[in-house]
Amino acid sequence: MVITGLLVIFMLVFTLVAAISILSITQSAIFEQLTFFEAVELYLIESATLVIFSYLLYRVTIHLVRSQNKELQ
């Protein structure tokens, strides 16, 4: 359980690093100009996106399981 939580946290960090790298390569954002608060903002946006996506995936899964159970009965 703890490992899963750590993987989720580090996955967001790796995604943030990848996003910054891509933005630096395309020169949409230069890493030297990225402040600490902007990096935190990106991290929070990615965290919120992950939470929303996970919740929606959970709701779709619950809906599919319930509809499968009704078909089997």
Domain count, the chain: 1
- Report field, pTM of the whole predicted structure over 0.85: no
Give the domain range for residue 11. 2-72
Q: What is the 3-state secondary structure (H, E, C) of 44-55?
A: HHHHHHHHHHHH
User: pLDDT tens-digit profile of 8-50?
Assistant: 677 777 777 777 777 777 666 565 677 788 777 777 877 787 7
pLDDT of residue 4: 63
Return the SS3 of 73. coil
Residues in the chain: 73
Return the SS3 of 46. helix
- DSSP 8-state assignment for residue 29: S
Contacting residues for 30 by C-beta, under 8 A, at least 6 apart: 24
